[in-house]
Amino acid sequence: MAEISDDQIAEALLRLGAERAGRTFCPSEAARAVAKDWRPLMPEVRRVAKQLGLRATQRGVPVDPITARGLIRLAQDPGCAKGAPDAG
């Protein structure tokens, strides 16, 4: 598998966060956007999501995306200063 950088993961996460405008998305969507073999990327996606300050929830309850076990959802907080990267 080709090396996927944190920047590539961050770009995918921020783009999804901006597109969803506060609605949640599955971290696997970001992993799938950057790699065909996306499952091994899930720990890195969760780590980068935490670094970006994305809101992580499990059944609607806030959780730490790194330590939470099972499925989580991510969302960009409406007041988040980090926006989607420029396309181009």
Instruction: Give the tens place of pLDDT for each residue, 41-76.
Output: 999 999 999 999 999 999 999 999 999 999 999 998
Does the predicted TM-score (pTM) go above 0.95? no
Q: Which residues, 6 or more positions from 72, have their beta carbon under 8 angstroms from its beta carbon?
A: 26, 27, 46, 56, 57, 58, 63, 65
State the pLDDT confidence band at 77, using cuts at 50, 70 and 90: confident
Instruction: Give the tens place of pLDDT for each residue, 2-55.
Output: 699 999 999 999 999 999 987 999 999 999 999 999 999 999 999 999 999 999
DSSP code at position 85? P
- Nearest partner of 25 among 15, 16, 12, 34, judged by Cα: 16
Sketch out the chain's domains with CATH numbers. Answer: 6-75 (1.10.10.10)
Cα-only R_g, the chain: 12
pLDDT at position 61 is 96
The rounded distance, in Å, linking the Cα atoms of 76 and 80 is: 7
